[in-house]
């Protein structure tokens, strides 16, 4: 679908909106936008080729593509990533020039990726700023060009899926037990585990390396908790828990899944027990984990949980 918007000169420009379903995992569609290898196979309409390209997925990274027409005429897309939410959204600012670097038009490209039954729904919205009115014809044909380009994308996704290595299934089990003594009554420790504001003070990634994307919790038998954040590297980690046993000031039993991006890496059962010892509280945490499909924990879960318990102690002193 397209509509028109006005620029200062009064020239009418198209705004393109496209929606396409692909019967492949979302991670595969996102990957097709993310590397030079894949982009140069599909990002052009019919009869065009891509002799040169450079794509680097980071904020400010290039999305540079040379499109060559059947007549041998080159047009360059000089793009930069301005927003990246891994697996969910890409925003690219593009400038299109001819072979002599003469600016033809600019394009703001907003792409979203959503999981849909049986595959992925991708939507593209592109708006334009015309620099050279003599090339308005290129924008008039943008909708048709995008349709052809997305046909190429469908072909590349089919190729990527066919060549993907099969998943090697495996499960590795591990158990650890940690204890801490806190100079606070059990009710204070309980609040640190069950009150969303209190838990947010210690249960998160380091602020300089991690950005909160989603947090919600409902601590009751059958209640759920979810914490999702993006690391500086772009990796997204998700903690999804369900509570099975809740005895105020004494015991919590919950199970949780951990995901890295869209891959489930573990399923765990955790028990937290609180025991009053004079004016102090002894916390005992036992966790049993199943680490999945090649994920090598190598003790990092125990180390990370210990780090969080130290942060919990520090939060009690504020």
CB 148 within 8 A of CB 45: yes
Total tally of structural domains belonging to the chain: 2
Asked whether the beta carbons of 318 and 300 are under 8 A apart, the reply is: no
pLDDT value at 2 more than 80: no
Same domain, 90 and 119: yes
- For range 9-28, the mean pLDDT: 78
Residues 88 and 197 in one domain: no
- If asked whether residues 47 and 147 sit together in one domain, one would say yes
- Of 136, 163, 190, the residue at which a domain comes to its end is 163
Does residue 272 have a pLDDT over 90?
A: yes
Whether 190 and 284 share a structural domain: yes
Domain closes at, from 163, 180, 201: 163
Q: What integer is the mean pLDDT of 65-86?
A: 90
Q: Who contacts 88 (Cβ-Cβ below 8 Å, separation ≥6)? A: 112, 113, 114
Domain final residue, candidates 111, 131, 163: 163
Rounded-to-integer distance, Cα 150 and Cα 44, Å: 9
pLDDT of 128: 84
Instruction: Verify that 277 and 254 share a domain, yes or no.
Output: yes
Are residues 196 and 61 located together in one domain of the fold?
no
- Dist CA 40 CA 60 (whole Å): 19
- Considering the domain architecture, whether residues 84 and 220 belong to the same structural domain is answered as no
**Positions of E strands within 235-315:** 236-247, 251-260, 263-277, 280-292
Instruction: Indicate if 127 and 158 belong to the same structural domain.
Output: yes
Q: What percent of the chain has pLDDT over 90?
A: 60
Percent of the chain with pLDDT strictly greater than 70? 92
Give yes or no: residues 135 and 22 share one domain: yes
Range of the domain at 16: 2-163
3-state secondary structure of 297: coil
* 144 and 225 in a common domain: no
The answer to whether the predicted template modeling score (pTM) of the entire model surpasses 0.85 is no
For residues 182 and 202, membership in a common domain is answered with yes
Strand order in the sheet with 210-217: 171-182, 280-292, 263-277, 251-260, 236-247, 224-231, 210-217
Q: Are residues 139 and 204 located together in one domain of the fold?
A: no
Tokens of 225: 């908790």
**How sure is the predictor about 139, in pLDDT bands with cuts at 50, 70 and 90?**
low
The pLDDT tens digits for 148-179 are 999 999 999 999 988 876 667 889 999 999 99
| Mean pLDDT (the chain, rounded) | 88
CATH at residue 127:
3.30.530.20
């Amino acid at each position: 679908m397209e509509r028109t918007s006005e620029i200062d000169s009064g020239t009418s420009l198209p705004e393109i909106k496209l929606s396409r379903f692909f019967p492949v995992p979302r991670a595969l569609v996102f990957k097709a936008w993310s590397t030079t290898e894949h982009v140069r196979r599909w990002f052009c309409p019919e009869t065009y080729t891509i002799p040169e390209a450079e794509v680097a997925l980071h904020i400010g990274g290039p999305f540079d593509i040379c499109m060559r027409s059947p007549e041998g005429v080159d047009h360059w897309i000089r793009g930069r990533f301005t927003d990246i939410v891994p697996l969910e959204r890409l925003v690219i600012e593009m400038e299109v020039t001819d072979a002599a670097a003469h600016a033809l038009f600019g394009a703001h490209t907003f792409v979203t990726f959503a999981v849909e039954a049986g595959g992925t729904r991708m939507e593209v919205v592109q708006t334009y700023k015309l620099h050279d009115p003599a090339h308005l014809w290129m924008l008039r044909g943008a909708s048709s060009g995008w349709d052809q380009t997305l046909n190429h994308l469908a072909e590349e996704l089919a190729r990527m899926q066919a060549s993907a290595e099969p998943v090697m299934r495996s499960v590795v089990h591990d158990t650890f037990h940690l204890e801490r003594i806190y100079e606070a009554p059990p009710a204070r420790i309980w609040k640190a585990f069950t009150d969303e504001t209190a838990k947010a003070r210690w249960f998160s990634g380091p602020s300089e390396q991690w950005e909160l994307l989603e947090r919600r919790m409902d601590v009751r038998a059958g209640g759920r908790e979810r914490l999702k954040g993006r690391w500086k590297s772009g990796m997204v980690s998700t903690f999804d828990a369900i509570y099975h046993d809740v005895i105020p000031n004494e015991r919590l039993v919950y199970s949780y899944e951990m995901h890295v991006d869209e891959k489930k890496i573990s399923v765990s059962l955790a028990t937290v027990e609180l025991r009053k010892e004079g004016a102090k509280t002894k916390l005992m945490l036992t966790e049993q984990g199943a680490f999945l499909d090649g994920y090598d924990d190598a003790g990092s879960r125990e180390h990370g949980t210990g780090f969080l318990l130290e942060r919990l102690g520090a939060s009690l002193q504020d």
